[in-house]
Amino acid sequence: MTVNFNFKGGGSIIKLKPAFSPDGENVLVSWKSSLMEYSVKTGKLVYEFKGIQGPMAGFAFYRYDSFDCVIACSKTGQVIIWKSVTHFKIHEKKIKIDNIKSFNIIPEEDEGKLTALISYKIDEKIRFALADIREGTIKETSLEILDCLYHVSVGGNKYFGVVQNNFLYYVEFENTEKVYRSNTKFKRYFTCISCHPTEELVLTGDKTGKIVVWQNLSAAKPTQAVYHWHTLPVKWVEFSTAGSYFYSGGGECVLVKWNLENSQDKKFLPRIAAPIDKITVSLDNSFVAICTTDNAVRILDTRMNQVSLIQHLVIGSTFSSGIVYDARTKTLVMNGNVGHVQFYSPLDKSLLYNLDIVGQNKITNERSCNIENTEVKKIAISKCGFWLATVEKRENLKYHMEIRLKFWKFNEKQQTFELNTSIEYPHENTILNVLFQPAANKAGLKCVTVSEDGKFKIWQLTEINSVYRKGVVWECYGVGYFRDLPCRGLSFSIDGSLMAIGFGPILTTWLPDTCEVKCTLIHPNYRDNVTHVEFGKGSDCHLIVAASALHLNVWNLLTLNLVWTVSIEVSSLVADTLTSHMAVVVKQSKVIVFTPGSPKPIYKSKKIKDRKIVTASFVPSRYSNDATLNWSERSALYFIDSKNELFCLSTDKEQSYSIEEEERIQKSIYSMLKPNKKSTGVKSQNPSKHLFEHDMSHKDLKSYLDAPAHTMVPVRFMCRVLLNSLVLQKDKSKEEIIT
């Protein structure tokens, strides 16, 4: 059975500026090669526009042939037009230009016209042209700039502006041969641009935090007016629909609303979760969409109150905590916003919620220095799912760093984690590993931390009864070290009675109840420091795997002998909690799945190009209890790459289900009533199978139940179809009739 890398989430939804529908009810965002339409008021997904092949260059809502349409263009020049109400594709064209960098629709009074301003790369230069989508013609402009960072904006149907470095270019559509150029001082590089929708007026932001309003750009000396509040570079400026006011944002995590007539009249929305990257205003000025660098689109109303949040996998600065599986919610727990952890569901590719760990406002950088915020470094969840351990750290090279170990208890009434115990400086140096003892009994539960100070500490759940508090708290139960060697790597046996820690090149096992050394293992030929340790499961529970930067060793705890070893550069080692399978990531670009009982790999992936594997973890599937299934069907290996995208190793069978379900979404419920006849002359030797093997998730039934009630046909017409989907089907001949 073929195992492939399948996409499960992540990727940026803020690469392109969002677009509001004409009525302001929905908003479009780009995600990979699709357009996602969300409800403005609820933030729920309404529809996904598909068909674009490759990365997206631009998209917009537009009135075309008396219909409200959605227009999208790929970087290869593929243009598709859908009706925004029925979602039907009505037009598809190919622009005769490749390597398109930007695509901006030019608003026309005549609905029969459809013209776009495109920029494209040719001969190491960036050129601009007007593309007539209906006629398929291209009209070149005289503007040509360097192949480096630039920004472009369209001012209605009159002109467009481009900024690059410290130059501002202004071109009128009536005379594209004439290019007007203005500039600022050399160090004041432009960072964004926005053109007024009706007037000859351009907004620019620069690295010094200044916003400049340019007027009369066709004159020899354009008029300038400076609006200055930002201390960091201005990331985005955006006019309102009428152009009487505008918005700006940047690294301060503050949205500023300016009055164009009075630079002193401004309003602020502070303490946004992440720096602002892009801003969009609806046609009726009722809503504002701000894109933030945590991969989120926040919808605000006229009072600058948040209405809804659109967010996929949160893209943080680091995934140092790794991927931890929460069996209670069936989610992946990992780093999110600064000081937060996110609970992400890979089944429906949605963010369940964020949990604030540090309880501090994010401190933004200053122009002269970068300010370090407290980050979550490690995460662990108990087997019962009711305890969460987090390690947070704030780096400070000038003064002493901050380290905290926190234990969180799940509140079943509030359905969230609440802080139970906070420990300042649990170790003298950075904590490298934290892990709960795999015990089903909540009483006497233990947690172990391993630090760069060469020690490990055992924390135990104990009862307290004082005038200040009654209940359970976490206290240090024992401390261990070995020959003053650096320690790294931590693993518990399947029953929790034994734990293994690497001290330098020595693999040691300990009794967690008494904090005593059980045995020490080292081979004279392999003296690399141990970095990862994992106990075997199931039939391999007597084996233990120790990985270093150059070798992978397997030891037998019964005979204390080295079973086998391979020379391999291990970046990370993860073990499946359900089976005896393990996986190693080689040089952050290759995955090998094996069992400790044999040096022969079960699966070996090809080298992943142009990206690196940052962290990985095994996650049980919905069929994990079926021991007859293949290893990849019981547990999937999830990993995050350097492009902040989440993938998993799964079979072709699982992938075919997802493709089938995506195709079924685009079909009407009434298509299930139409006969679909397929015939072929090739004889099949496939044995008959029960339907539940083909449709284990009951997609026919789900699609029927999920359909809107007012669009459904009478139940008596669908009864036969639904019942047939639940009974045994036999293929008496190759001709297949679906009724």
Predicted confidence (pLDDT) per residue in 563-593, tens digit: 999 999 999 999 998 889 999 999 888 899 9
pLDDT band per the 50, 70, 90 thresholds, residue 713: low
Question: Distance from first CA to last CA of the chain, Å, rounded?
Answer: 31
Whether residue 739 has pLDDT greater than 60: no
Report residue 696 CA to chain centroid gap.
Answer: 28
pLDDT band per the 50, 70, 90 thresholds, residue 706: low
| Residue 247 structure tokens | 């918005």
Predicted confidence (pLDDT) per residue in 687-696, tens digit: 444 444 444 4
Q: Residue 185 has what pLDDT?
A: 80
Q: What domains can you pick out in the chain, each with its CATH number?
A: 8-311 (2.130.10.10), 326-365+372-481 (2.130.10.10), 674-738 (no CATH)
Tell which wins on pLDDT, 360 or 622. 360
Q: Can you tell me which residue has the tokens 């290869």?
A: 76
Tell which wins on pLDDT, 668 or 639. 639
Q: Under a CB-based contact definition with an 8 Å cutoff, are residues 581 and 593 in contact?
A: yes
Report residue 311 CA to chain centroid gap.
Answer: 9
Please, how many CA atoms are within 13 Å of residue 226, restricted to the half-sphere of its CB?
A: 8
Sheet holding 613-620, edge to edge: 3-10, 645-651, 635-641, 613-620
Buried b (16+ CB within 10 A) or exposed e, 436-458: bbbbeeeeebbbbbbbebbbbbb
Tell which wins on pLDDT, 734 or 156. 156
3-state secondary structure 79-119: EEEEECCCCCEEEEEECCCCCEEEEEEECCCCCCCCEEEEE
Residue type, 223: T
Predicted confidence (pLDDT) per residue in 368-390, tens digit: 888 889 999 999 999 888 999 99
**3-class secondary-structure state, position 633:** helix
pLDDT mean across residues, the chain: 87
Q: Residue 688 has what pLDDT?
A: 43
Predicted confidence (pLDDT) per residue in 60-112, tens digit: 999 988 889 999 999 999 999 999 999 999 999 999 888 999 999 999 887 77
Residues in contact with 116: Cβ distance below 8 Å, sequence separation at least 6, in sequence order: 58, 73, 103, 104, 105, 106, 130, 131, 133
Handedness of CA 594, 598, 602, 605 (dihedral sign): positive
pTM: predicted TM-score of the whole model, two decimal places: 0.81
Please, how many CA atoms are within 13 Å of residue 37, restricted to the half-sphere of its CB?
A: 23
Q: Would you call 335 exposed, middle or buried from its count of C-beta atoms within 10 A (0-12, 13-18, 19+)?
A: buried
List the beta bridge partners of residue 356: 340
